[in-house]
Every structure is written in C-alpha cells, then in structure tokens.
Structure 1
Amino acid sequence: MVSESSKFLERKVEEASPLSRAKLMLEKGPKLLGRIMILLLILFIIILMLPWRQTIAGRGTVTALRPEDRAQTVQNQIGGRIEKWAVREGQEVKKGDTILVLSETNQSYFNPELTDRLDEQLNAKRGSEVAAEQKILATDAQIIALTNGLRIQLSAAENKVKQARNYLQIDSADLVAVRNFYETSKSRLVRYESGYKNGLFSLTDIETRRLKLQEDRAKVVAQENKLNNARQELLNSRIELDNIRAKYQQSLASAQGSRSSAVSDKAKVREEIAKLRNEMSNVDIRRGLYVVRAPQTGYVVKTLKAGIGENIKEGESVATLQPKSPLVAAEIYVDAMDVPLILDSSNVRLQFEGWPSVQFSGWPSVAVGTFAGKVSVIDRVSTGDKYRLLIRQDHPLPENDEPWPNQLRQGSGVYGRVILRSVPVWYEIWRKLNGFPPSLEKEPATAATNKK
C-alpha cells in the first residue's frame, strides 16, 4: 500500500516538473539575454580598442635583385652550322664551359689556310712599304744633289755675270779713251790743215794726220762693237743664270712630285697592311667563336635550337641560362594610391607559393610561415596602373625569423604585405568605410623638408 502511494506521488511530481521549469525559464530569459548582450557589447568595445597593424598588400613573383642574376639567353656571335651540343637541359655549367660547337657557313672563310694566305699578302705589302721608303730616301738624296749642283752652277753663273759686268765697265772706259783720242786727232788735223795753208806743214804731214784720224775712228768703231759685245755677254750671262734657276725649279718640282707619289704609295701600302692585319685578327677571333661558351656559372634551363646540322644566324639565342647563386628578391606590385606611403626602409612580410603559411592582416607578429623582407627598390614609373617593388631579404634577420628558403625558384608566386603603423581597430574600420589610405608611421625626409 505504501509502495503504491509513493509511486503515485513520484509520477505526479514528474508530470508537474516540466511545467514548472518552463515557467521559470519564461521569467529568467530576458535577464539572461540582457546579460549576454552586455557581455557581447563589452567584448566588441574591447575588440575595437585593440591595436591593428596597417599593411599594403601586393602580389608578384620571385626574381633576382641584380640584373646579372636573372635568367638570360646565350647568343652566338657569328652565323654557322650546328655541329655538336655539349650540354643538356638542366645541366650545371661553369663559366667558359662549351655549350655549342659551330662550323663555318660563310664561303669567305672556308679556306683552312686563309691565315697563311693573308700572312703572305701582308709580307708582300711590307715589301712594297720598304720599296716606297727607299724611293722616298732616293728622292731626298736627289733633291739634296740638285740643291748642291744648283749651288755650284749658280756660283759659276753669278761669277760669269760679274765678269761680264766687269768687261762691260772696262770696254766702256776704253771707248771713252778711244773717243778722246779720236777727238784729239780731229783737232790736230784741223790745226795741221791750217798750218798747211800757212806753209807750216807739208802735204805728207796732212796725209799722215788724216790716216791717223781714220785709224782712231776705226778704233772707236771697234771699241763700240766690243762694248756692245760685252753688253750682250752680260745679258747672256744673266739669261743663263735665270735658265739655271728655272731648270733647278723644274727638276726640284719633279723630284718633289716623285717624293709625294712615294709618300702616297707608302701611306696606301700602310692602309692595306692595316686592313690585312685587321682581317687576320678578325679571322683569328672568328675561329674562336665557333665554340659558344657559358658566360657565367649556372644551369642550362632550356635549349632554344635543336638538332645537328641546323643553320643559325648571327646573334640568335641558342639557350637559356639561369645563374647558379642569384641574390633572390621578391617583385610585387601595389596600387598607385599606396606608393607614397612606402619608404625605402619599410618592412615586409612575404608568403611564398609552396610554403604553407597563415597570415593575419592586422597582426603580422602572429603569422606563421611568413618571411621578413625590406623594400629595396620603388619604381619611378608605373607598370600599367601598378607600381613595382623589389623586396630583398632583411639583414640581419629579426628575432625568431628564418632566412628565405634556398629552394626558391625565380618566377614562382609571392604575396607580400608592407608593414605600416599600428592603429586601433575602430580607426581601421573607419578608414576602410571612408576609403582613406593607410597612415604613415613617420613622414619621408623629403616630405618633411618641403613641409618645413
């Protein structure tokens, strides 16, 4: 009886308990919801006051900081025919190692004894140069001989002119004397004829004086002729002197013309010798270019020509070479609006494709799998609507940071964030809603100077 009553009471209590709990929940629900909302509000306010690190995001690829460390093509300097490949794709080569061997396709260089033939031509030209030099020396000797001969002939001709001038003076004086004698004879004849009329002189005396006068007249005529001959002799001597000078000038001009011709021949021979030497040097250098060599140590990424016997032109690319130990850098692109905020000393966090990482935009310090970098180059001109940044590895590395992976390959993707100043979360939300750019932690030196 007692057991049945106790079971009845338990059943009644179980039936009544859900109704009481529901009533209690209806009475306590608003208070609990209010407390939860207050806690959420406090938590939201706390989150708004937390520090947020502003960043500028950019995406790009891995490259090399120095131009010589980037992938390059290897060109052949001369045209030719492929005879042998000395490398395969992916093979490591050292500077100066053979990549490709060519054979000649230019018929001007087919002769294997071309150097010997050019050497023979050079020796012949040198002989012509020696002959021209000897001709110049002979012409100089001829000019010296002409000068000496002229000096002697001029001295003789000048002496002859002086002698003729002296003879002319003597003959002139003699003519004066003879004329004086003639005038005296005329006077005497006049006196004798007067004395003959007066009976002082005989006819014989008169005739003697007349004969004497005729003799003196003849002497005057002879002396005049002699004087004229002396004058002609002086004129002839002067003409001979002028002829000697003119002949010397003609001979000298001919000798100088021969010398100038010899000098011209020598200069022409020297020019031909220089051309031959240049051609010989070109032949030697060209034969050394039949082997295409690696310009630096690296890896043959890809061969751009194939097969044996294929003809290639001058300056064609035959292979792509990647330097062995490049100074790796990250090449990322950012918006033009954010470029003025980036400094040469700005820090960057990088995520490389192939390396697992977790990046928190506002809290880079808690990121996992990212690597530290520093801005090295900021382009002065845009590429499209973006500006390029080159990021180098930070040295020395920050604490608890690892160096960049050695397995990085140029061309692989990279995602970077340039670290700016720390601001509250509410400020960052307000900035994003208004479309404002991030804030600088410190102004660039040039901007601060202009501002002052």
Structure 2
Amino acid sequence: MKLESFDKIYHVHRKSNVKRWFVVVILLCIAALFLPWTQNIKVKGNVTTLYQDQRPQQLNSPIPGKIIKWHVKNGDYVNKGDTILQLSEVKEDYMDPLLVERTEQQVRAKQGVRNYYEAKVGTTDSQLKALGAARELKLSQLKVKISQLNSKLAAEEAELLATTNELALSEDQFNRQKKMYDEGLVSLTQFQQRSVAYQNALAKKTVIDNKVAQTRQEIVAVEIEQNSTIQDYAEKLSKTEGDRLQSMGLIEGSMGDIAKLENQVANYRARQGLYAVLASQSGQVVQLSKAGIGEILKDAESIGTIVPNQVDYAVEIHVRPVDLPLLKEGQRVMCVFDGFPAIVFSGWPNTSYGTFAAKVIAVESNIGANGLFRALLAEDRGQKPWPPQIKMGAGVQGIAILNDVPIWYELWRNINGFPPDYYIVDNQKSATTDGKK
C-alpha cells in the first residue's frame, strides 16, 4: 500500500542541490581564509587630557575661616575670577579690624628709632672728627714745645761749653797765681782777686749745668705728656668708635625689624584678599562638599571641583605587559566612546562604524599599580573629529591597529596561542601622509 503522507514528507525521489551548495560553501570558506585580516590589540581606558590646567581642579580654602556667604551652587558655570564663597576670620591673631593700620604704626615707630640711631651715628662721626683734630692739634703743640726745648737745650749746652772753657782758664790762672803767691811774686790781694774770679766761674758753670739738666727733664716730661696724650685720645676715639658701631648695629637690627613688620603688613593685606574664594578657571562647579553658612574650613581644605569648559581631550589606555612591545608612538588606534553607538569589525577597521581615530603619542615606561602600562592617545586630526559630547573620565574601548595578515594565519596564530606579529610603525611616512592631507 502506498502512503501518500510518506511521499509528501520525505522527497526521496526528488533531485537535491545540497551537495552543490555544500561544495560552494566549502569553496567560499577556503577563499575567505585568504582574505586580509588586520591584527589588533583590544584595550580599555578613559577620556582625559594632556594638559594639567585642563583637568578638573579642586577648589581649596586658602586660609582657615568660617563660611559667611555662598555665591554658587552645584552645577553652576563660572568664569575665571568669579567669587565662589566668602569667609570670615577664625584665628584670634587676625581678628583685629585695624590689624594692618596698627602694624603700619609699628613700622613707623621702628623707622623713627632707626632714624634716631642714624642721627646718633652722624653725631658720633662728628665727635670722631673733632677728637682726631684735637689730638693732632695737641700733638702739634707738644712737638713745637719739644722743638723749643731742644733749641733751648742746644743754647744752654753751648753756654755750658763756654763756661767750662772759662772755668778751665780761671782754674789755670788760679793755680799759677797761687804758685806765684807761694813764691812771693804777687801780693795777697792779687791772689784773692784771682781766687774770686775762679769761684765765680765755677758757680757760673754749676748754674749752667742745672739749667741744662732742668731743660732735659722738661723735654722728658713733654715726651711723657705726648705719649699720655696719644693714649688718652686713643681711648676716647675707641670709646666713640664703639658707640658708633653699637649704633650701627642697632640700625641694622631696626632695619631687620622694619623688614619683618613690612612683611607682616604685606601678609595681612594679602590675607584680606583671601577671604573670598575665587574660581581658578572657567568651568562648571561640581561636588561642593560644604553646606550652609557658618561651617569652618581648615587651611587648604577641599570645597569642591571645577571642570573646565575648554578641554583638548585625549585618551589614556591601559596595556598588558605582553602587548606592550607591540605599541609604539605614532601607532593608529580606533576608539569607541561609551554612549556612542558603534558597529565594530576588529579585523576590518575601515568597515567599522562609530569608531574614532587616534594616535599613540606617549607610552609610559613604568608599570602601574594595576599591573598595566599606561599609554596616551591624541586625536588624529586627519580623520573624523571626535564627538564634542564626550566628557572627562568617560570610558573608552581601544583597538590598536597592527599588521595586515591573511585570515588563515590569524586563525593559526590564535590556535597556537602566539602573540600578534611585531609591528614597526613608519612615523615618517605617517607624518608625510598627514601633511599632505
């Protein structure tokens, strides 16, 4: 009996094309094995910037103080120099409202003391000049007196010499007169006259001797007075010079005190300008950590963060140590930003949709705490521009483009667990291509 249902279900008598399609598929698969495949390294990272001044900046309190007024709220956009909040003083050393004026009074008082000592130094200089002039005058007088005494001594010595000669002559005459008197050749009166003349000559010589001795003593006394004068004036000059040096030392001390007080005045004025916390750059204020009025801020305590408006974005990626030798400066990397749809064919980067081109500009030489190396990517200006909606810290998936190989080679490499081929980037060629574009 023939079953119609069997014939309708199992078409055993009909001609089939399965074998033909099987062969075609096999041939297509074999042909596909010879298609080009771009080797790549898949990495993850996030959006950042190359410039420190374009990174999110913390708002810090420059001084300890108490919040008295807020001028912004979370999410507000501010320009550079806008006031974020105002502070009041909490340290007792700075609470005096006339602190600057009182410190300036101290400066003026110290300046007056310095001027007094400068005047004293001027007076001391005048005293030194007067003492020097008086010493020279006194010494000149003593020199003149010594010169006069020396002249007097010379005259007296000459007189002494004449008197000595006269005495010798009188003594000789006296001796001859005495001999003649003894022989009876002269009278007693004549002998007595010669004796008186001899005694007068002897007395005259004694007087001259005394004068010479007295003059010599006067010269010695004047010389002693000269040495005493030199010593006295030296002591007076030394004492006056000591007073001068002491005054100069006090002047230097006063100048140091003045400089210190002027520094305090400048610091107090600068501190008065720190009661308003200003925006360090233009951007959005976020993550304000203090609330309300009256909260106390410590020195350099964080208040919040400013995210800059104008940012030249870059991407930082983290590379495994095994892939690090394959990554070089100037290498092309395709980026997929979080939040932007993309269709990615990793082996055919030119056919991918939603990817953005970047170039490796730096590879750090030290490994990070996560066991990965960090590399920085910059936008490839010759390709499609990056989306303006990206934000700092957004996630990024990167595909580092390596060598072009056949698909069969890539399958064989993965089956054997071999790494991608070592790829040398031709930076000169890349730069020339960019310049032509």
Whether TM-score is above 0.5 comes out as: yes
Higher helix share: 1
Residues 92, 299 of structure 1: 8 Å contact kept: yes
Cα offset, 1:306, TM superposition: 2.1
Residues 326, 423 of structure 2: 8 Å contact kept: no
Question: What TM-score results when the alignment is normalised by the length of structure 2?
Answer: 0.92
Q: How many residues align?
A: 426
C-alpha separation between the residues in 1 aligned to 2:316 and 2:166?
Answer: 129
Residues 304, 320 of structure 1: 8 Å contact kept: no
Hey, what does 2:240 align to over in structure 1? 255
SS state at 2:300 partner: coil
Cα offset, 1:441, TM superposition: 4.5
C-alpha separation between the residues in 2 aligned to 1:121 and 1:439?
Answer: 78
C-alpha separation between the residues in 1 aligned to 2:87 and 2:272?
Answer: 10
Q: For 2:382, which of 391, 396, 411 is the aligned residue?
A: 396
SS state at 1:332 partner: strand
Superposed, 1:181-330 pairs within 5 Å as 181-330=166-315
* Distance of aligned partners of 1:17 and 1:287 in 2 relative to their CA distance in 1, 3 Å threshold: closer
1:433 aligns with 2:422: no
Give the CA RMSD over aligned residues.
2.2
C-alpha separation between the residues in 2 aligned to 1:372 and 1:198?
Answer: 160
Question: Given residue 401 of structure 2, which amino acid in structure 1 is its aligned partner?
Answer: I
Hey, what does 1:3 align to over in structure 2? none
Hey, what does 2:7 align to over in structure 1? 18
* Distance of aligned partners of 1:445 and 1:228 in 2 relative to their CA distance in 1, 3 Å threshold: farther
C-alpha separation between the residues in 2 aligned to 1:293 and 1:396?
Answer: 39
* Distance of aligned partners of 1:82 and 1:194 in 2 relative to their CA distance in 1, 3 Å threshold: same
Hey, what does 1:419 align to over in structure 2? 401
SS state at 1:305 partner: coil
SS state at 2:357 partner: strand
C-alpha separation between the residues in 2 aligned to 1:311 and 1:50?
Answer: 69
Cα offset, 1:442, TM superposition: 3.1
C-alpha separation between the residues in 1 aligned to 2:302 and 2:330?
Answer: 39
Report Cα offsets for 1:84-112 as digits up to 9, x if no partner: 11110010010000111110011111111
Residues 59, 333 of structure 1: 8 Å contact kept: yes
Question: What TM-score results when the alignment is normalised by the length of structure 1?
Answer: 0.89
Residues 333, 388 of structure 1: 8 Å contact kept: yes
Question: Given residue 402 of structure 2, which amino acid in structure 1 is its aligned partner?
Answer: L
C-alpha separation between the residues in 2 aligned to 1:283 and 1:244?
Answer: 58
Q: For 1:131, which of 101, 104, 116 is the aligned residue?
A: 116
Cα offset, 1:17, TM superposition: 9.5
* Distance of aligned partners of 1:138 and 1:16 in 2 relative to their CA distance in 1, 3 Å threshold: closer
SS state at 2:365 partner: coil
Hey, what does 2:367 align to over in structure 1? 382
Cα offset, 1:279, TM superposition: 0.7
Q: For 1:164, which of 149, 153, 159 is the aligned residue?
A: 149
Superposed, 1:37-186 pairs within 5 Å as 37-186=22-171
* Distance of aligned partners of 1:77 and 1:210 in 2 relative to their CA distance in 1, 3 Å threshold: same
SS state at 1:395 partner: coil
Report Cα offsets for 1:164-207 as digits up to 9, x if no partner: 12222222222222222212111111100111123221111111
C-alpha separation between the residues in 2 aligned to 1:22 and 1:326?
Answer: 70
Cα offset, 1:240, TM superposition: 1.3
C-alpha separation between the residues in 2 aligned to 1:23 and 1:70?
Answer: 74
C-alpha separation between the residues in 2 aligned to 1:340 and 1:194?
Answer: 145
Residues 343, 444 of structure 1: 8 Å contact kept: no
C-alpha separation between the residues in 2 aligned to 1:236 and 1:173?
Answer: 22
Residues 164, 237 of structure 1: 8 Å contact kept: no
Cα offset, 1:148, TM superposition: 1.5
C-alpha separation between the residues in 2 aligned to 1:231 and 1:17?
Answer: 173
Hey, what does 1:360 align to over in structure 2? 345
C-alpha separation between the residues in 2 aligned to 1:294 and 1:336?
Answer: 41
Cα offset, 1:13, TM superposition: 8.9
C-alpha separation between the residues in 2 aligned to 1:344 and 1:13?
Answer: 78
* Distance of aligned partners of 1:80 and 1:14 in 2 relative to their CA distance in 1, 3 Å threshold: closer
Residues 60, 302 of structure 2: 8 Å contact kept: yes
C-alpha separation between the residues in 1 aligned to 2:303 and 2:194?
Answer: 129
SS state at 1:57 partner: strand
Unaligned runs of 5+ in 2: 429-437
Cα offset, 1:434, TM superposition: 2.7
C-alpha separation between the residues in 2 aligned to 1:325 and 1:218?
Answer: 124
